[in-house]
């Protein structure tokens, strides 16, 4: 399973890149708004640093403007994936952009029916928001399971990009289900490394080694 970082902070992304576990980036207007400078310059820097897919979202809401903005975003760098929100306008924009060879990530997906429609119009990625479903007492990961089943049934090539990930449990469950990608905030990526028994075990190994050196002296 591929791991993407859900962030527009170049410094936070660059800290994770040397680990060689990061396959791409997702951004959205909220994340870009937190950063200083021109958003398109920020996207270009991220593309150059990562060298993998970088999702950049349109802010227009009508089809023509979404397509126009999508083309402009795609022109920033060949790693850009145009992100459009699900809806009638988003589906139409996805179909138009995909027909031009532009990769599209359909976001804000909350039902298997929505994911089916996105795949039918050629979405490269579909992004189910699992954490937001969990927030309203709905099983977000069950949505991922349903989407994967539908895509397998009809051999859709659209990749399932699990979004709104809140912790390592979401990542592990997505991997067990066979999701293509999880996009995670940097703090979730960091949390994947942690386990108290690993830390306790390392401390014991080092303490035993130091004690053996003392005994040999």
Q: Is 187 a catalytic residue?
A: no
Q: Which residues of 66-90 are buried (b: 16+ CB within 10 A; e: fewer)?
A: bbebbeebbebbebbbbbbbbeebb
- Closest residue by Cα to residue 4 from 166, 180, 184: 184
User: Among 2, 83, 88, 187, which one carries the catalytic annotation?
Assistant: 83
> What is the C-alpha end-to-end distance of the chain, expressed in Å?
49
* Token couple for 175: 């991997």
Per DSSP, the residues of 13-75 read HHHHGGGS---EEE--HHHHHTSSS-HHHHHHHHHHHH-S-EEEE----SHHHHHHHHHHHHT
How far is Cα 33 from Cα 38, in angstroms, rounded to an integer? Answer: 10
Alpha carbons within 13 A on the beta-carbon side of 207: 6
Are 23 and 51 within 8 A, CB to CB?
no
Q: How many CB atoms lie within 10 A of CB 204?
A: 10
Active site residues: 83
């Amino acid at each position: 399973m591929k791991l993407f970082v859900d962030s527009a902070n170049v410094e936070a992304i660059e800290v994770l890149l040397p680990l060689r576990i990061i396959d791409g980036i997702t951004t959205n207007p909220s994340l870009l708004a937190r950063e200083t400078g021109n958003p398109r310059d920020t996207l270009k820097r991220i593309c150059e640093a990562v060298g993998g897919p970088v999702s950049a979202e349109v802010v227009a809401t009508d089809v023509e403007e979404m397509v126009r903005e999508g083309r402009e975003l795609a022109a920033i760098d060949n790693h850009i994936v145009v992100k459009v929100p699900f809806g009638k306008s988003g589906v139409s924009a996805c179909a138009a952009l995909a027909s031009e060879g532009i990769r599209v990530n359909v976001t804000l997906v909350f039902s298997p029916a929505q994911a089916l429609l996105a795949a039918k119009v050629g979405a490269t990625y579909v992004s189910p928001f699992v954490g937001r479903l969990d927030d309203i007492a709905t099983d977000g990961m069950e949505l991922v399971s349903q989407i994967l089943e539908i895509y397998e049934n009809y051999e859709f090539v659209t990749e399932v990009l699990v979004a709104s990930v809140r912790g390592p449990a979401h990542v592990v469950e997505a991997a067990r289900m066979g999701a293509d990608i999880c996009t995670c905030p940097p703090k979730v990526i960091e949390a994947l490394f942690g386990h108290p028994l690993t830390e306790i075990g390392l401390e014991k190994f080092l303490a035993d080694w130091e004690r053996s050196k003392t005994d040999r002296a």
